[in-house]
Chains A and B, each alone.
Chain A
Amino acid sequence: MTDMSETKMAPRDQGAPDYKVNLHPVMLKNYGKWDYHERLRPGVLVHVAESGDKIWTIRAGSPRTMSADKVREVCDIADKYCKGFLRFTTRSNVEFLVDNEASIAPLIKEVEEKLKFPVGGTGPSVSNVAHTQGWMHCNLPGSDAAGSVKALLDELIDDFKNERLPNRVHISSSCCQINCSSHADISVIVQHHHPPRINHSNMQICELPKVVAICPVAAIRPAVVNGHDSVEVVKEKCMYCGACHGQCPSMEIRDSETDTLSIWVGGKTSHARTPPTLMKLAVWGLPNNPPRWPEVGQAVRTILDAYRKGGKPYERIGEWIERIGWQRFFEVTGFPFTRYHIEDNSDALLTFNRSAMVRI
C-alpha cells in the first residue's frame, strides 16, 4: 500500500456498511427465522416470524432522484412510525417498516399526502420503473430517464396502486442501447438510425485501439484523415449500436432528428415456472418525444391491457406470449411485425420456426 501520509486523503478500503445497525429491531431479532408473509392490501405486506413477531412493510414508489430535503422528509416519516428504519428495493421503491398494525393507516396517509408517494408495487402490479441517468447526468443518452419514467408512471399509476394484473410487471427504461436498466417484462430503449458521425479533428482525445476494439461487428478501422490519426466506419457493417460513442465522444451516434424508441417484452429474471428469459422486440420507431413521450405510454398501455385481458394468473408477460404465440401477440396489440423483428444475431437460427407447425 502506498504511503499517502503526505496528503490528508488516504485510501481506507472500508468496504460495505454494517447492515446490522441499519436493521429494524424486529428484523434483527428474527433474522433468518421468518415463517411466512402475506399481502394485506396493495403496497402492504406482513412478515411473520417463527417467534410470532410481525413486521409490516408499506411499499411506496419513489422518484429515485431526490433532493436532500426530500430524503429528510422520508426519514421524518420513518422516525415517526418506523423507529427510524426503512429500506429501498431493487426497483427504487421505499419500504417503511412498522412493528404495530395501528401505525399503518396514519403512515400511509402521510406517505400519500406529505411525500406524494403512491403506495403499491406489490404482488401482481406494475412496480416502479428501473431507469438510468438520461439527460440529467449521463454522457451518452439519446433520451431522458427520470422524466420519461415519471411520464410513463403517471400513465400506469393505477396499475402500481392496484393488484389487478395476472402477475407482477417489471418495466425498465434506458436512454441508450447499453441499457443500464436491463431486461424486464417491458423494456423501453433508445435506438439510433445511422452510423456514428466522426469528428476527425477531435479524435486525439481518444484511445483509438479501444475505439476499434469495442465495435461488436468489427466495422471500425484505423485511418489517417487530414494528416491525423483517426478511424473510419464501414457503413455496411455498422449496426448503429453506439458502443464506440461510449469509448470516444468524437464518434457521435446520437441524432436528435432520427433517434427513436423501441419497446421490448418478455424479459424475466425470476426462475418461477420458466427459466430467466431475454426480452424480445415488440415495437420500434416510436418518436423521442419529450417532455411526456405519450407514444411510449400508449404502447406500454396497449401491451398491459392485452396482458391483463389474456394472461392467466401467475403468467408473466413473456409466459403469456409464449402460450398464445407471437402471432396472436401482434394481433392483440396491433403492432406490425416487420423485417426488423427477425433476429440476425449469432443465435438467429435457433429463433426461427424450424417446423411446419403454424396457426392458419
Chain B
Amino acid sequence: MSVKNDARKIELNTPLLDQLETGGWPSFVTDLKAYSKKRPQVGQLLNQLNESYENRWNYWIGTVLNVPGYGGGVIARLSQKADKYPDLAQFHTVRVIEPPGWVYNTKNLRQLADIAEKHGAGIMQLHGMTGDVLLLGFDNDQSMSVAEELMENGWDIGGSGGALRTLQCCVGQARCEMACYDTMKVTKHLTDTFIHYLHRPEFVYKFKFKLSGCPNDCSNAMMRSDMPIIGTWRGEMQINQAKVKEFVKAKGRAYVIDNVLTRCPTKCISLKDDDSIVVEHQDCVRCMHCINVMHKALKVGKDKGVTICIGGKRTLKIGDTIATMIVPFMKLESDEDLGKLTEFVERVWEFWNDNGMDHERVGEFIARVGLATFLDGIGVEPDVRMVNRPRSSPYIKFEELAPARIGGEQNKMPPVWNKEPEGAESVSR
C-alpha cells in the first residue's frame, strides 16, 4: 500500500476562519494554516471548513469502511465538495486506543504524530469524547496502511458502532491520593479481556465504560458511560485530628462550619470544642466534599473498592440518564476480583443483548423492562441502596400467590416476609 502525499496545492481562501486567529486561546486555524504549507490537503480542509462557515452547512457524508478483520474504528467520511477539493474525496478518521489515563512518553506520542503524518493529513485530536486518540484524513488505502503501521507498533484500533467502545479512566493511583482503585490497571484489563467485543460489533448498541478512582468522577463516567466504575471505600474514612486542628486554626471555625459541616449531604460531621471533628461514619455517603476541602487532614478509607453503576448516557433516545447504582461495594484488587468483575460484565451483556431492542442502550433497556426485572436477569438481589425511595404506586405485579403463568396450579410461594432469597450470589458479597 502506497503512501500518497501528492495532494494538490490550492490557494488558501479562509476569510472567516482567519477571524479565529485572534484572541488568547490557541488557534487551531493558525496551526493548520502553517501546517498546510507542508500538507496541501490540510489547506483544502480549511477551505472547505470556511465554506461551512459561510453557508452554515456541512459537507461530509458518513460511510462505512473497515480494516479487514475489524468491525469498527474507522470513521469514514466523503466530501461533497470533492470536485473542488479532490484530496478530501475520502477523508476518514481512525480511532486509536489511548494509553489508560492519557499518559504518554514523548517517544510514543511522536510515533503517533509520525504515523498520522506519513499516512494521512497529519491532524490529531487529543482526545475524542470516548477517549480515543483521533487521527484525521486518510483515504481508503491509507486507512489500511495506517492501521497496519499502528498495529505493527503495538497500537490498536478503537471502537465504533454497536460494540464495546474504547475505555477511558482518570489518572488514578498514578498521581492521585484519592484514587480508591487502580483505574489504569482495570481499564487495561477490561480493554484487553474484551477486545474482541471492541473490534467486532455484536451488541444491540454501543457500550461504554468509564472509570474514576473516586466519586469526584474525573473521567466523567456517570452520564457518559453505560457502566461507570467509581472508586470508593468501606468503613471509616481516615482522619488525622492533628491536621484537622491545623486546618481549623488556619481557616477559622466559621469557615469550617460554612464550607465543610453544612455542605455534608448527610450532616454526619460535627466540630468539637477542641477543634477536632467527629464523623458518624455509618451516615457518610462518600461524596468526597470534606476530603476535597481538607485533603491533608481527611483521606479516603483504608478498605478500598468500587461502586458499580449501570446505564448512563445522553439523550437519545428516551432522554438523558444518569447511571443507577447496582453494586454498592466490591473489592477490585486481586486477579480473582478482576475475574468477578469480568463475569459480572458478561452477565449484564448477555441479558441486555438477548432482550434489548436494536439501538437500545442498557440504561434504556432498564427503563423499559424495569430495574427489578433487570436485576433478576443479571442475578443480583435488590438492595435498598439502589433507590432513593421505595415505590409510591400501589399497582404491584406480585409473583407470589398469583395464578400460574402457563396453566397448572396456583403459585404457593411462602409469603415475602420469610422468604429465603434466591438467585445468583450477589457480586458484592
Interface residues of A (CB under 8 A from B): 2, 4, 7-19, 21-23, 27-28, 31-32, 34-37, 47, 55, 57, 61-72, 74-75, 78-79, 84-90, 92, 94, 97, 115-118, 130, 132, 135-144, 146-147, 150-151, 153-154, 157, 177-183, 210, 213-216, 241, 243, 246, 249, 254, 256, 259, 267, 269-279, 288, 290-292, 312-314, 345-347
Contact = CB atoms under 8 A, between A and B. Distances in A.
B327 to A, nearest CB: 16
Interface stretch (B188-196, B343-351, B396-404): B188-196
A249 B219 contact: no
B113 A68 contact: yes
B218 A22 contact: no
Nearest to B314: A179
A337 to B, nearest CB: 21
B104 A65 contact: no
Interface string B67-94: 1111000010100000000000001010
B218 A61 contact: no
Interface string B12-56: 000011011011111111011011001100100100010011011
B98 interface: yes
B147 interface: yes
A85 B105 contact: yes
SS class of chain A's interface: helix, strand, loop or mixed?
Answer: loop
A291 B97 contact: no
Contacts of A67: 31-32, 34-35, 39, 42, 122-124
A15 B192 contact: yes
6 contacts: A19-B188, A139-B58, A147-B20, A271-B286, A272-B289, A276-B223
Contact of A35 (B27, B56, B177): B177
B92 to A, nearest CB: 9
B317 interface: yes
B330 interface: no
A17 B113 CA distance: 16
A214 B289 CA distance: 40
Given A182-B129, A214-B359, A272 B28 contact: no
A22 B99 contact: yes
Given A86-B104, A92-B126, A276-B217, A346 B16 contact: no
A14 B316 contact: no
Contacts of B171: 87
B187 interface: yes
Contacts of B380: none
Given A34-B177, A88-B102, A90-B220, 14 more contacts: A47-B175, A61-B26, A63-B28, A64-B125, A65-B32, A69-B34, A86-B104, A88-B126, A147-B53, A210-B358, A213-B357, A270-B288, A273-B265, A290-B16
Nearest to A214: B359
Given A22-B104, A180-B129, A276 B199 contact: no
B129 A157 contact: no
Nearest to B117: A68
Contact of A15 (B23, B101, B108, B191): B191
Contact of A16 (B55, B68, B182, B191): B191
Interface in B108-145: 108-110, 112-114, 116-117, 122-127, 129, 136, 144
Contacts of A32: 173, 179, 182
Interface stretch (B292-300, B370-378, B409-417, B419-427): B292-300
Closest 10 CB pairs of A and B: A154-B23, A11-B69, A139-B62, A15-B192, A271-B215, A135-B52, A67-B35, A256-B56, A153-B25, A34-B177
Contacts of A210: 358-359
Contact of A68 (B25, B114, B196, B359): B114
Best-surrounded residue of A16, A19, A269 (most CB of chain B within 10 A): A16
A214 B317 CA distance: 8
A182 B107 contact: no
B174 A19 contact: yes
Nearest to B214: A271
Contacts of B268: none
Given A31-B174, A75-B106, A90 B316 contact: no
B223 A182 contact: yes
B114 to A, nearest CB: 7
Contacts of A140: 58, 62
A71 B126 contact: yes
Interface of B: 16-17, 19-20, 22-29, 31-32, 34-35, 38-39, 42, 45, 49, 52-53, 55-62, 67-70, 75, 77, 91, 93, 97-110, 112-114, 116-117, 122-127, 129, 136, 144, 147-148, 151, 154-156, 167-168, 170-171, 173-177, 179, 182, 184, 187-188, 191-192, 195-196, 199, 215-224, 230, 258-259, 263-265, 286-289, 292-293, 295-296, 314-320, 322, 357-359
A151 B16 CA distance: 12
A181 B182 contact: no
A212 to B, nearest CB: 11
Best-surrounded residue of B168, B216, B220 (most CB of chain A within 10 A): B220
Nearest to A170: B220
Contact of B156 (A2, A16, A137, A141): A16
Contacts of A2: 69
B220 to A, nearest CB: 5
B151 A12 contact: yes
B195 A13 contact: yes
Given A19-B184, A47-B176, A68-B116, A291 B53 contact: yes
Contacts of B109: 71, 74-75, 86
B100 A16 contact: yes
Given A34-B177, A67-B35, A269-B223, A61 B156 contact: no
A215 B359 CA distance: 10
A157 B25 contact: yes
Contacts of A63: 25-28, 31
Nearest to A216: B317
A34 B103 CA distance: 17
Contacts of A66: 28, 31, 123-126
A85 B112 CA distance: 15
A37 B216 CA distance: 15
Contact of B26 (A88, A115, A147, A216): A115
Contacts of A270: 215-217, 288
A21 B105 contact: yes
A205 to B, nearest CB: 10
Contact of B125 (A65, A135, A249): A65
Nearest to B53: A290
A84 B58 contact: no
B23 A157 contact: yes
Nearest to A49: B177
